[in-house]
Amino acid sequence: MSNSDRTVDFGYEKVARADKAGRVRSVFASVAGRYDVMNDLMSFGVHRLWKQFALSLTGLRPGGCALDVAGGTGDLAAGLLRQVGKLGRVVLSDVNPQMLEIGRDRLLDRGLAGNVECIVADAERLPFEDNAFDCVTIGFGLRNVTDKAAALASMYRVLKPGGQLLVLEFSTPVAPGLKSIYDAYSFKVLPLLGRLVARDEASYRYLAESIRMHPDQEALLDMLKVAGFTQTRYHNLTGGIVALHRGYKI
């Protein structure tokens, strides 16, 4: 294995491949308690619209079965539960137990926990049977995965034939003049909010850096194709700050 294969990006830092998952877990364990408050502050609440758009494209019907990978505090899972109804099934998974516990509690508070399973799971090695789900979603989690290709292959495996993957993730701004404004906000305002609200400036600096290291729209589209997905496409949201990628299993 070459040196480049032994190390991976952790934001702008190079770390040992074996260490990244633990570093990411530490970040999210640190911010879990204030994660939702910070999401609202960082995006001015627009993250809710991005998630609503993703949910509008699931194609799920009552009685369906869905998996939310890296589901964190359960926003997408709540929407999936409403779509599949009481006869359906939703699995909320996350590699971080602290985030998953908050997600489970939030679903309980909303009265939506009757047909949901909460499972600690690594996106690269999902512990589910082949062809198990009608739809798989991952919202703002793929950029934190050590081996993105392995995660996409794992999500492809657990989808039923004809099932759809939806990847909602920060991406590369395409609107004229937006990049410089977005960079200034990301590297000056976000760490400041992290320090004042979440009391963790370093974690939010990492989150800003991780966005910059994530594949852009076309590169991620190619990764979906390599993983076997068909009818692949993406939708730029808020000028490309976020993109929703989609693909189907044959």
Distance separating the N- and C-terminal Cα atoms of the chain: 33
35-43 vs 47-55: helix axis angle to the nearest 10? Answer: 100
Of 34-43, 87-96, 234-243, the range with the lowest mean pLDDT is 34-43
Tell whether domain 3-174+206-248 is in CATH 3.40.50.300: no
Share of the chain above pLDDT 70, in %: 98
The per-residue pLDDT for range 160-198, each reduced to its tens digit, is 999 999 999 999 999 999 999 999 999 999 899 889 888
Per-residue pLDDT at 199 exceeds 50: yes
When pLDDT is cut at 50, 70 and 90, the band that residue 4 belongs to is low
Pick from 117, 126, 171, 127: nearest CA to 152: 126
- Per DSSP (E only), the strands in the chain are 7-10, 13-16, 65-69, 89-94, 116-120, 133-139, 159-170, 230-237, 242-248
Name the DSSP letter for residue 128: S
Better-scored residue on pLDDT, 172 or 110: 172
Asked if the model's pLDDT at residue 103 lies above 70, the reply is yes
**For residue 1, pLDDT beyond 50:** no
Cα(100)–Cα(237) distance, integer angstroms: 27
Q: Give per-residue pLDDT as tens, 73-84.
A: 899 999 999 999
Domain ranges of the chain: 3-174+206-248
Three-class SS of residue 158? helix
Cα dihedral value 152, 157, 160, 166, nearest 10: -10
How many CB atoms are closer than 10 A to CB 231? 11
Element (H, E) at 241: none
Q: What is the mean pLDDT of residues 59-74?
A: 96
pLDDT band at 218 (very low <50, low <70, confident <90, very high): very high
- Torsion angles phi and psi, residue 149, rounded to 5: -65, -40
Residue 234: phi, psi to the nearest 5?
-140, 155
Distances (CA, A) of 204 to 31, 61, 155: 9, 37, 27
Q: What is the pLDDT of residue 35?
A: 79
User: Who contacts 230 (Cβ-Cβ below 8 Å, separation ≥6)?
Assistant: 247, 248, 249, 250
- Closest alpha carbon to 35 in 98, 77, 118, 120: 98
Q: Which residues contact 141 (CB under 8 A, 6 or more apart)?
A: 69, 70, 71, 72, 94, 123, 169
Cα 28 from Cα 31, distance rounded (Å): 5
Distances (CA, A) of 250 to 42, 157, 225, 232: 37, 11, 12, 12
Give pLDDT, residue 3: 47
Q: What confidence tier does 31 reach under pLDDT thresholds 50, 70, 90? A: confident
Q: For the chain, what is the mean pLDDT?
A: 93
Q: Which of 211, 220, 229, 206 is nearest to 15 (CA)?
A: 206
pLDDT at res. 145? 95
